[in-house]
A and B are shown apart, each in its own frame.
Chain A
Amino acid sequence: MNFLDLIWLIPILPLCGAAIMLLFGRNLSKTVVSIICPGAVLGSFILSLGAVIQLAGLKERTHQVVLFEWLPQLHVDFGYLLDPLSSVMILVVTGIGFLIHVYATGYMAHEHGPRHGGYYRFFGYLNLFVFFMLTLVLANNYPLLFVGWEGVGLCSYLLIGFYFHKKSAGDAGKKAFIVNRIGDAGFILGMFFLFQVTGSLRFTEVTDALRSARFGPEVTHFGILSLTALLLFIGATGKSAQLPLYVWLPDAMEGPTPVSALIHAATMVTAGVYMCARSNALFALTPETSHIVAAVGACTAIFAASIGLVQNDIKRVLAYSTVSQLGYMFLAVGVGAYWVGVFHLYTHAFFKALLFLGAGSVIHAMSGEQDMRNMGGLRNKIPITFGTMFIASLAIAGIPGLSGFFSKDEILWQTWSAPELGSKVLWVVGFLTALMTAFYMWRLMFLTFFGEPRMDEKTKHHIHESPKAMTIPLMVLAGGSVVAGWIGMPKVFGENGFMQGLEHWLAPVFESGKEVAHAAAEHGAAAHHDTTMEWVLMGVSIGAALSGIFLARHIYLRMKAEDRPTGGFIYPVLLNKWYVDELYDFLFVNGLSKGGGTLMAKFDTNVIDGGVNGTAWLTRMVSRISMWYDTWIVDGLVNLTAFTVRALSFPVRFLQTGFLQSYALVFMAGVLGIFGYFWWGR
């Protein structure tokens, strides 16, 4: 079986699932729904696996399948591209997507709604999401990527607003969609610039054009290419929740927890990272934009982590953590370490999906409670959830041997050492973020699972471990959180085809990044492989992870609630998320949109329609004057004339009687008269 030519089926399968759900779902039983939807994603996973294995056997590791021509004006097709980068993505999307689908069959089991509408609708949307996400990562050109990009945004909107009777859910969905649209506006313009520069929007052609052309500094340094890259990056900041467009992601937690895990942690939000990695040939040419990417990434990482330190809602902590981790990925992309960005995307997908699903399991056990201040001591009650989340928390904190350690450490090392693009300042930011990450994650763990139980009796009585449909995905993901990083070990651990497997696999996609790096290395960046330094930095970051964990343990396990440091004035600022939402509301929602809208609506009714109605009034006035003029002057004259004529015609009037007989009489008389004249007159 040739899986490579069947890659179009990978997105189509979930689309069929979605179509069945949305068209006939209400007539299907829950069992059927729970077979079709996860089954469709499993089918995609198997097809993906087969295709990737066959791809590995090819010499040139790219394979395209073009279905039909789509937008002739931009010469783009509805075509799919499988290469090392997209193969990593489809495996993550379908693999983790399948696990989350399975989990959701358990989590959503109590979902009712009109005609048990919640259940099939949920899975229909979820399948639709997988379709769009796969289209996004398999597209062979930018506009088709954009189709997936907008499509996942739609599904995100639908799923955030899944509990649409709640106003907060509707608000959050709307906010997500609109904020994303702001980024999309940049993305659209970026695509046009790219088309102008390279004459194509197909990935392979764009990359070839960018790699082969020799651009002068007027194009690459604050030039048109820098702008192009910046615009694409603006698109990425929307989808991947970076400063200043991150505000929608924390609110997106209104959606059901499996959605938070799949869409708002593991897959959709990483689309921006994927897109930048896909555009590596462009970013590699534009150092200024890359600096911006790295700086935005680092700032987002520490900014979101700072908010995560004090949140009390278990899902909110994870949401800010996701924003922060996405910042790490952009930091990697910004310093030119594209494969490392993808590496962290891939490890993060495991442990963050696991954390969210674990949190979902906790919420499930706690009868819907999300505030960690009302939890505590859960570790014995829900041991599987605890155990798996424990592993994930170690992984995200960066404890050696687990997946998060390898990817995060590689990002920090690249930030420190990358020639030309690397930066010691950004390393410090990344380092501090690592410290904060370990702290807030373990604050979450200690508050939730350790210490005295703080929930009320009814909830306490009800606490139970989740069903197998939920715990098995947790365990699988826990396994992944441990081993996923082993294919991207640092070279100081030893070099072979397995330990640097991911880097080698992705190498052909990121060639150009290398070229730039080599070029830079030529003029004297000797730090390229400073082994001692790498060990030292690794030690330092492990130290940060451990101190974060122990600090959290000290404060949240050892200290009593009232003894804990209050943090002074900074605490309310962090708790209120630096007041960014309030600022945006003031400036953009109420100021620009509502203010501008009201102003323009007033302009319409008062100025333009005022003019129109004014003209009408003027016309009416003129008509009135004309009427007066007509009645008294014109008609007066006419009547006067008539009167004169009447007066003058007084004698003749008796002739004009209107009676046919009199006319006939006169006529006859006339005829006789003429006859008489001729008869007697001659």
Chain B
Amino acid sequence: MQEHLLSIILFTPLVGVLVLMFLPRSQKTLVRLWANISAAAGLLVSIPLIVNFNRNADGMQFVERMEWIPSLGVQYLIGVDGISVLMVMLTTIMGFLAIFSSWDAVKDREKEYYAMFLIQQTGMIGVFISMDFLLFYVFWEMVLVPMYFIIGVWGGPRKLYAAIKFFLYTLAGGVMMLLGILTLYFVHFGQTGRYTFEIAELMKLNMPLGLQQWVFWAFFLGFAVKVPMFPFHTWLPDAHTEAPTAGSVILAAVLLKMGTYGFLRFSLPLLPKASSDHTIVTVLATLSIIGILYGAFVSLMQKDWKKLVAYSSVSHLGFCTLGIFALNQAGIAGSVIQQINHGISTGMLFLVVGVIYERRHTREISEYGGLAHVMPNYAIVFAIAMLSSAGLPLLNGFVGEFTILQGAFDANKTWAAFAVLGVIFGAAYLLWLYQRTMLGEVTNEKNKGLPDLNWREWAVFLPLIIWAISIGVYPKPYFDILEKPVAQIVHRVHQTANTEAAIR
């Protein structure tokens, strides 16, 4: 079983979908139950992965290799390193919680809804474990479709606009990325006479800086749209706002991380010269910092609760990309940890919005106020989510943010000086949101009788809260598991940069 563990993790949700298709549409409870069981099974099979993962070993683990399209050199090649393991765990956990949280929320076409989520699970896991570039691309695009339907079918009033915007934005980026991939593919053929999409092989390429830069920008468009980095972020608020709660959770917690993961897995190791090129690094860091501040400022002025959280994602993801392009151990390790943290805290924030949306069917902040009186437990959960997002020490957000800032500081003090301002504004928009919704007197009659969290909602929040605290108090396991793979990336980027300098 060990040798096919990754495949099992990858295809468990799909098996779930297969069975789901044969369930009668009218048996709603059965459909829900089965979807939850499939997601739970997906989570359970991923546990042996983290248990058996050897964090002291170099390179990929649990590798599986099969020919897929031999004539084109495409393989079914999957494997994990420390970064992938964390991302897979994030996917299986958040995926399960998202599906679990939909129990009461979705009352329309359940069968298709859950099928979409499960297909998406497979797609996302595939993205994080593919070690063949074309396989990666297949999974990458595969994720797009279910999310398109989730937004477009189960979304809010402007769902069609949002869904199409999401689809076209990411598809356009994806096509550019494909061009980049094909360039690498043909250059590799030119140099070795062999067709392959295997990442380890492509890493051996010796490409001149100029070409690397072109490919870098092609990748950049694909990844930056997904992250999203300023100025490619405007699909995000619409998609988040219109998506159903669980869709927003997955979108924020996992889908966006595909972009940052792409930078880490492909841009940096495959294009080390371009990635350490001064202009490129400066541009990327600047865009990240603009994202941090811009996202925070725009959050401040939102009147829509969900949109505010969506813009806060832009700000947080700015930290993640800044960490990556600090190109040092602290920056990148901090970035990966922050990606997980963002999944937890923003996931929670979206769930928080979902809870109230289910009760009141409005996201207007001005509709609320004084909810802490009627829903005290809800207020506590929201407070924890907010503080985790604002980076309060002993909660998860601080560890990532602080380590990223350290990395940014080591790379360039000016970056750190600007990025640290995000810490101030992050607190500002969240606290103001909290005040407007939770504190004060209950002014709106409709809010007077709202029920507090039920057990199912507690069951979703509780694991996330525990996770948030555990990372905040004891983040060492995460740093340990990331040490090797991050060191490898850093080494690769700097080694090339150094040899380059030596030649000059």
B409 in the interface, Cβ–Cβ < 8 Å? yes
CA distance A161 to B231 in the complex (A): 38
Q: Which of A69, A154, A593 contacts B476 (CB 8 A)?
A: A69
| Contact of A117 with B402 in the complex, beta carbons under 8 Å | no
Interface residues of A in 65-85 (CB under 8 A from B): 68-74, 78
- How many residues of B are in contact with the other chain, CB < 8 A? 59
B265 in the interface, Cβ–Cβ < 8 Å? no
Instruction: Return chain A residues, CB-CB under 8 Å to B168.
Output: 616
CA distance A616 to B329 in the complex (A): 41
Instruction: Return chain B residues, CB-CB under 8 Å to A164.
Output: 372, 438-440
Given known contacts A165-B373, A189-B417, A608-B234, is B393 in contact with A182 (CB within 8 Å)? no
CA distance A177 to B383 in the complex (A): 14
Distance of B203 from chain A, by nearest CB (Å): 26
Instruction: Return chain A residues, CB-CB under 8 Å to B329.
Output: 73
| Contact of A192 with B432 in the complex, beta carbons under 8 Å | no
Instruction: Return chain B residues, CB-CB under 8 Å to A170.
Output: 435, 439-440
Stretch among A144-152, A287-295, A538-546, A641-649 lining the B interface: A144-152
Distance of B132 from chain A, by nearest CB (Å): 32
| Contact of A608 with B431 in the complex, beta carbons under 8 Å | no
For the residues of B in contact with A, the DSSP-based class is helix
| Contact of A73 with B387 in the complex, beta carbons under 8 Å | no
Distance of A167 from chain B, by nearest CB (Å): 5
| Contact of B392 with A73 in the complex, beta carbons under 8 Å | no
| Contact of B441 with A597 in the complex, beta carbons under 8 Å | no
Interface residues of B in 323-338 (CB under 8 A from A): 329-330, 333-334
Given known contacts A114-B376, A150-B393, A167-B440, is B330 in contact with A73 (CB within 8 Å)? yes
| Contact of A178 with B431 in the complex, beta carbons under 8 Å | yes
Stretch among A98-106, A412-420, A598-606 lining the B interface: A598-606
Q: Which of A114, A157, A182, A601 contacts B298 (CB 8 A)?
A: A601
Contact pattern, A 157-172, Cβ under 8 Å of B = 1, otherwise 0: 1000100111101110
Instruction: Return chain A residues, CB-CB under 8 Å to B439.
Output: 161, 164-165, 167, 169-170
A514 in the interface, Cβ–Cβ < 8 Å? no
Distance of A131 from chain B, by nearest CB (Å): 10
Q: Which of B294, B393, B423, B441 contacts A147 (CB 8 A)?
A: B393
| Contact of B300 with A597 in the complex, beta carbons under 8 Å | yes
Contact pattern, A 103-115, Cβ under 8 Å of B = 1, otherwise 0: 0000000000010
A250 in the interface, Cβ–Cβ < 8 Å? no
Minimum CB distance partner of A69 in chain B: B476
B78 in the interface, Cβ–Cβ < 8 Å? no
A630 in the interface, Cβ–Cβ < 8 Å? no
Distance of B21 from chain A, by nearest CB (Å): 35
Instruction: Return chain A residues, CB-CB under 8 Å to B376.
Output: 114, 117
Q: Which of A151, A171, A192, A594 contacts B405 (CB 8 A)?
A: A192
| Contact of B387 with A154 in the complex, beta carbons under 8 Å | yes
Instruction: Return chain B residues, CB-CB under 8 Å to A185.
Output: 420-421, 423-424
| Contact of A192 with B406 in the complex, beta carbons under 8 Å | yes
- Listed from nearest, the 8 A-B pairs whose CB atoms lie closest are A597-B301, A147-B393, A597-B300, A170-B439, A192-B409, A164-B439, A597-B297, A73-B330
29 contacts between A and B (CB under 8 A): A69-B476, A70-B474, A70-B476, A72-B480, A73-B330, A114-B376, A150-B393, A157-B431, A165-B439, A165-B441, A166-B440, A167-B439, A167-B440, A170-B435, A171-B435, A177-B431, A178-B431, A181-B423, A185-B420, A185-B423, A593-B297, A594-B301, A596-B297, A597-B299, A597-B301, A598-B301, A600-B298, A601-B297, A612-B234
Q: Which B residues are within 8 Å of any A CB, using their own CB?
A: 165, 168-169, 231, 233-235, 237, 294, 297-302, 329-330, 333-334, 370, 372-373, 376, 380, 387, 392-394, 398-399, 402-403, 405-407, 409-410, 416-417, 420-421, 423-425, 427-428, 431-432, 435, 438-441, 473-476, 479-480
